[in-house]
Amino acid sequence: MIIAKFLHILGFTVWVGGMFFAHNALRPVAAVTLEPPQRLTLLAGIFTKFFTWVWISVALIFGSGLYMMALIGKPPVYITLMFVLGVIMALIFAHIFFAPYRRLKRAVAAQDWKAGGAAMGQIRKLVGINLILGLLTIVIGSLGPLAR
């Protein structure tokens, strides 16, 4: 169980921490210091690296979470809520990856900065939603056992 907990914590730390950094530090600075060609090229490259880690994190989180849920039997409400929020987050991430991120990569390759900016705007909004859900999930996971 300790290894599963470690992998679970590692997964959500990488995913939520990466979203926090990208959304609240990297993108705002890039937006004011770089012109669209440089900014969008940089962000597309960063997402290529980061999204690989997110896929790994999602696998770690779900694998370890389902394993721990199987060990405890019927999960308490807070664990069920964490699972539901995790599924929603994973679906949002999959949408980001397969829709606006692909549009961003195509736009950067074509040097279509207007389309790239539109795709980046969608990514920013969806990452913001996932960041809020991720922070909420961490709070539920941390405080849920105390509510018993």
pLDDT tens by residue, 17-32: 999 999 999 999 999 9
Give the residue numbers spanning the domain of 81.
2-147
Give residue 146's pLDDT band: very low, low, confident or very high (50, 70, 90): confident
Furthest CA-CA distance within the chain: 55
Q: How many CB atoms lie within 10 A of CB 142?
A: 10
Whole-number average pLDDT of the chain = 97
Phi, psi of 67 (to 5 degrees): -60, -50
Domain count, the chain: 1
Predicted local confidence at residue 148, as pLDDT: 61
Q: Average pLDDT of 6-10?
A: 98
What percent of the chain is modeled with pLDDT above 70?
99
DSSP string, 106-125: HHHHHT-HHHHHHHHHHHHH
pTM attached to this predicted model: 0.95
